[in-house]
Structure 1
């Protein structure tokens, strides 16, 4: 008989939801607050058994309130995950108090500040690594659209396709209508192959409600997940995309609504500051009972 990685001999595993104050909303994440000594296979097995889109594994690193952090989906490790960062930061703050943390990720150093939000729930603000934005070739774009089942004319020409990075790579595609965004039924294996070829973590599918409000969805087949309910890394990349294309001018605060189509609504706050290329992403997190 195979022993479960979640049995009494396993490391402590916490469950939090990020980008919502409702445990039934936002994006659930696993948090292992003391992952020292766990090898890659064990971390991947724990993430797979939990079944969340990401689990964060933390190990104290150097000075107080600094941690090495690794992120595993059910299928693979990713260099950076925003919602698991928010979840892990709030989980730590529940134990050691609000304030500044430093996460040392495979993408680089990510400062996180935890403080009570307007409603009293703890909120975390992460500051991304330095972002970059690049164009995508015509053939690659055509393959992405074919895998999604989208037509080129269903895109919003004012928000052109780009690959954006703020710790992980995401392809930004903007739907011309909310109806197109809502109707998401894609070829899982085909999209996974396409994304693997371009080292993409998710697709950032967006619809622009207004200049500072967007609705977003994130297919995540490379992680073994059909759709990520709330995606902080993609939100940071999208903020960089908007600034790079002149669609948002710092200082600016953007609101991203995600998870509505999955019945897990969440809200992500994206901040662009003048003179700082990094992007800040904020959201609440609460523990899931049990």
Structure 2
């Protein structure tokens, strides 16, 4: 994720809304991009539901350790691991450390992402294009490849795609392209792993108030009205998205694989 959560004009709401009910009791989860935004809200909710959580982050150590403290306050254990999910060796090291620390792995949340708005496709450099794909989609391949030997029947993989995959975004061309790839990856991987009893689903958030949007190079004037073009006329909060990840992580969604949930403020999209 880009930008520190503490630097936002208004702190995103990550706090779990409801008391826990043990839906992830005894489980171990990895959340990439878990330091802030949606990742922080997912880590907090998973911990409330009984999971130990590994928080994978790239830059923001302060945010990551704040998220780890949130997990600890829920009575669970956290592990912070800093590095680039675009590096396959780092992803293997993450899984090895998690399994060594917690004894296994049950849920993989591929949430890490970056975006860089551009008015003109010609403004997107080769470096930016490759970097966005490396983080947003290559990282998911690397994490799944690293995790697969440790995932047993009943495990869940949840990928974070985006509403931009469905409705497009004129200034987020490379980002939106990666989100399309993520959706296709989710559907294909679900078919590849269904015989192993491993479910693969995705969440496609709409405009959510996290560091990714206001600090990812967006026009400051548009940030002021961010999310107002949805039917609900507001941006969503991370704790309004996290329950979708929880539903897909636990047995509540035992008959679902290859699907995408859409917490997006009422935008109707195909597929």
* Superposed pair shares fold, TM > 0.5: no
More strand by share: 1
More helix by share: 2
TM-score by length of 1: 0.25
Larger radius of gyration: 1
